[in-house]
Amino acid sequence: MSELTAETRAHMVELTHRYPEKRSAIMPILHLAQSVQDEITPEAMQMCAEVLDLTTAEVNAVATFYTMYKRRPVGKHHIGICTNTLCALLGGDAVYEAVSERLGAGHNETDVDGTFWLERIECQAACTHAPAMTVDWEFMDCQTPASAVDVIDRLARGETVVSTRGPAIRDFQATEHTLAFPDDGLAGEGGEADAIMCAGLTVAKERGMSAPPAPAQGA
């Protein structure tokens, strides 16, 4: 495990300057700590509390409430598979079971060598592209059991895997750093809205449909 350093603390302080109240920086600071240590440790919560003038209990409350913060090492890649309503209807459970079998891991578990962390996700906010899977929070859309396992196999071989609407997959800790400092230079990577996302707009245009005009002010 990497150690939190004076540089880490300086970056935490930098994050506090982005908010009117420094305690509001708690979530990006926790992501920053996780980018260094691959989990949220007692040491990280202590440093976070000192920087934000909070108690460790207050920091722990946030770190344990949000599921993106982990209390055990995640490993190189976090795999999230949505099994909520629409994804489940379109095969999300089958995708999850195939990946679980491939990794030999269940929900919130790592594979035998600690490379992949598997998580059953309640919602990825990607219903248009169900079943959805994320790798280090980058989308892999419209998955099947076979395509999802293929993604795992390619990552295990060290091959480059490009997300379906974002950059090439890096690793979990790199993504955690981006969640702390979003200006990673990758905002232009990936495609634009596709035909699936724009299906409703396409049908509306074909049928000459439009939204009613907004009422005049004061009406």
How far is residue 76's CA from residue 70's CA, in Å, rounded to a whole number? 13
**Class of residue 92 by CB neighbours under 10 A (exposed 0-12, middle 13-18, buried 19+):** buried
Which amino acid is located at 163 in the chain? Answer: S
Confidence class for position 118, pLDDT limits 50, 70, 90: very high
HSE-up of residue 19 (Cα within 13 Å, Cβ side): 15
DSSP assignment of 148-187 equals: HHHHHHHHHTT---B-TTS-B---HHHHHHHHHS--SS-T
Q: What is the pLDDT of residues 163-211, one digit of tens each?
A: 998 999 999 999 999 999 999 999 889 877 788 889 999 999 999 999 8
Confidence check: pLDDT of 214 > 90:
no
Q: Token pair for residue 94? A: 């089958």
pLDDT of residue 202: 93
Q: What is the mean pLDDT of residues 104-126?
A: 96
Which residues neighbour 216 within 8 Å (Cβ) at sequence distance 6 or greater? Answer: none
User: What is the Cα 21 distance to its own chain's centre?
Assistant: 25
- In order of their start, the domains of the chain are 6-65 (1.10.10), 77-180 (3.40.30.10)
pLDDT at 194: 87
10-14, 25-29, 187-191: segment of lowest average pLDDT: 187-191
Q: What is the mean pLDDT of the chain?
A: 95
pLDDT band at 7; cut points 50, 70, 90? very high
Confidence tier at 219 by pLDDT (50, 70, 90): low
What are 48-79's pLDDT values in tens digits?
Answer: 999 999 999 999 999 999 999 999 999 999 99
**Whole-number Å distance between alpha carbons of 150 and 145:** 9
Provide the pLDDT for residue 209.
94
Q: Is the pLDDT at 6 greater than 90, yes or no?
A: yes
Which stretches of the chain are DSSP H helices?
A: 6-16, 26-37, 42-52, 56-65, 85-89, 92-103, 145-156, 172-180, 199-206
What pLDDT, on the 0 to 100 scale, is given for residue 158?
97
| Confidence at residue 190, expressed as pLDDT on a 0 to 100 scale | 84
* pLDDT for the residue 193: 74
